[in-house]
Amino acid sequence: MGRLPAEMRALTPAETALLVTAWNEAQGEGPLPAAPTAAQMDDLKRRYPDG
């Protein structure tokens, strides 16, 4: 977003809402990514165990 943490904390709720709306619009409205398949989830669980 190009803003420092202090700048973000200083925003009013209305300014924050405008910023979030503008950010979301800038990200595009393409299709959402598909959920991972069962095989992909198994691979992720194997690679990143919860300990």
Give the pLDDT of residue 35. Answer: 92
Number of domains in the chain: 1
Give the pLDDT of residue 47. Answer: 94
Tell me whether residue 42 is in a domain: no
Q: How far apart are CA 15 and CA 2, in angstroms?
A: 15
Domain that residue 13 falls in: 1-27
Average pLDDT in the 12-37 region? 87
* CA 39 to mean position of chain CA atoms: 24
Give the pLDDT of residue 50. Answer: 84
Give the pLDDT of residue 44. Answer: 93
Q: Count other Cβ atoms within 10 Å, centred on residue 11.
A: 13
Tell me whether residue 15 is in a domain: yes
pLDDT band (50, 70, 90) for residue 1: low
Is the pLDDT confidence value at 46 over 90? yes
Tell me whether residue 8 is in a domain: yes
